[in-house]
Amino acid sequence: MFKSSDDKFILSNGVEIPCIGYGTWQTPSGDVARTSVKAALDAGYRHIDTAAAYGNEEDVGSGIIDSGVSRKEIFLTTKHWVTERGYEKTVAAIDESLKKLKTDYIDLYLIHWPCVEKISPDWKEINASTWAGFEKAYKDGKIRALGVSNFLPEHLSALFETAEIKPAVNQIEFHPGYYQPENVRWCKENGMVIEGWSPLGCGAVLNDPTINAIAGKYNVCAAQVCVRFALQSGVLPLPKSVHADRIKLNKEVFGFELSAEDMTALMTLPPIGYSGFHPAQAPADALCE
């Protein structure tokens, strides 16, 4: 088991990824993103997760520069947005992200949402052609590892039919109350690391009485229980906060270990905190209509 946030998961291509990342979904662009990314790096995070669609890549890049931490020490993830599907647009989107992030490489690049049947009968071909753009940038040395987000096994199986380089990561919603065990198992069996977005259920699970009772036993807070729940499930958590004290707290999760009984209690909670974003319903595409 991990002993500190400097410990790493190893991706299928041998690239090491720090076992906790700092999430920036819903972090407003501008000073908030810039100062909170710097606060995360000051607190010792060395893994930052953003996305083109978050609208804060430029500020994430500025926060990294402000921190004074060398780029090589930081693992930086960003994501490809649904409007940029297909080979040519994907290649251009990668260059755009590099420019905004003020860097010459991305550590991990993810397809943010799969193209699905609801969007197009050609969804498999569309994902394959996007992926070909990913592979080109990987071979050109612009990206160190490739992955996906919000994919279900059916989307991954289809991608595997044409992919020359297999995705190393699937980033999915993961927190007590919604932890997608079948998807996690399938991805692990296929050599992928699972990252958990919204490991705190967007804050919505933090008042849950069971989670708080467990937190009380270990003298920690509910957010720390959620981060630990992901790690002990073998999932890489990406907690988000824009407050320096919480940012720090959310990575102080190595002084306690949840018992098997408490893990079971967390796994058997009624569904709480679910975002409602199901890949088959193409929620991200719906936002763009």
Known catalytic residue: 54?
Answer: yes
Annotated active-site residue in 22, 45, 54, 138: 54
- Contacts of residue 12, Cβ cutoff 8 Å, sequence gap at least 6: 166, 168, 191, 192
How far is it, in rounded angstroms, from Cα 131 to Cα 121?
17
* Alpha carbon separation from 132 to 128, 159, 165, 176, 203 (Å, rounded): 6, 10, 9, 35, 36
- Using the rule CB under 6 A, give the single segment among 66-74, 93-101, 123-131, 239-247 that binds ligand A2P: 239-247
Nearer to ligand A2P, 221 or 282 (CB): 221
If binding is defined by CB under 6 A, does position 239 make contact with ligand A2P?
yes
Shortest Å distance, C-beta 13 to ligand A2P: 27
Residues of this chain, 244-263, that bind ligand A2P according to CB under 6 A:
246, 249-250
Coil, strand or helix at 68: coil
Region from 3-11, 104-112, 186-194, 236-244 binding ligand A2P, contact rule CB under 6 A: 236-244
**DSSP state at residue 6:** T
- In angstroms, give the least distance from the CB of 198 to ligand A2P: 4
Binding mask 1-40 for ligand A2P (x = CB under 6 A): ----------------------x-----------------
Subset of residues 174 to 233 that bind ligand A2P, contact rule: CB under 6 A: 198-203, 206, 221, 223
| Least separation in angstroms between CB 262 and ligand A2P | 18
The span from the CA of 195 to the CA of 197, in Å, is 7
Name 154's Cβ contacts closer than 8 Å, sequence gap at least 6.
none
Q: CA 130 to CA 84: how far, in whole Å?
A: 8
- Which residue's structure tokens are 């796994």? 267
Q: Which is nearer to ligand A2P, 43 or 200 (CB)?
A: 200
Nearest CA among 52, 42, 45 for reference residue 236: 45
DSSP-assigned letters across all residues of 161-230: TT-SS---EEEEE-BTTB--HHHHHHHHHTTPEEEEESTTGGGTTTT-HHHHHHHHHHT--HHHHHHHHH
Scanning 11-19, 61-69, 237-245, 256-264 for contacts with ligand A2P by CB under 6 A, the matching segment is 237-245
Q: Of the two residues 148 and 223, which places its CB atom closer to ligand A2P in the complex?
A: 223
**Sites of contact with ligand A2P (CB under 6 A):** 23, 198-203, 206, 221, 223, 239-243, 246, 249-250
User: What amino acid positions are annotated as catalytic residues?
Assistant: 54
